[in-house]
Homo-oligomer: A and B are copies of this chain.
Amino acid sequence: MNQGASGIELGTSLGYLMKEVASALRAAMEAVLRPLGMSVTHYSCLELLAQRPGLSNSELARGTFVTRQAMNVLLQALEADGLVTRSAQPASGRALPTQLTAAGRAQLATASAAVKGVEDRMKSHLSPKDQDALRAMLSTCAASLRA
């Protein structure tokens, strides 16, 4: 009697569960990254850049799920700290390719190991088959939401 016929049952809502896991994951990541002096977005940017060197500001923003304005502020800080470098001249259009420096790679190495520990803990009670199934369903959900 607590919710109407068209309401959402929080206890069984996939959306609520998704938010719960995402929130717990973010909190766990913050807990291990804070001692390293990094935020989640900070780490995400470096990780993305390590796997896809040369990404532009806008591409990094999309890959880390923030606006390009927010990523721009972050990139300026990362560049000032000597963790990344941005080309002075655009290779094409206005996009400025970004690369990790040696210092950036070094900082990332520590953070990446810590974050991997968190992710391992998250899936510690899932069998490899379960993990594959979860991956597939999450991809399906993401695709459905984009449509």
The residues of A with any CB-CB pair to B shorter than 8 Å are 2-4, 6-10, 12-15, 17-29, 47-48, 50-53, 63, 65, 109, 112-113, 115-116, 118-119, 121-126, 130-131, 133-135, 137-147
Contacts and interface: CB of A to CB of B under 8 A. Distances in A.
B19 A22 contact: yes
A19 B14 contact: no
Contacts of A23: 65
A119 to B, nearest CB: 5
Please give the count of copies of this chain that the complex contains. Answer: 2
Given A121-B144, A122-B141, A144-B123, A116 B7 contact: yes
Contacts of A137: 126, 130, 133-134
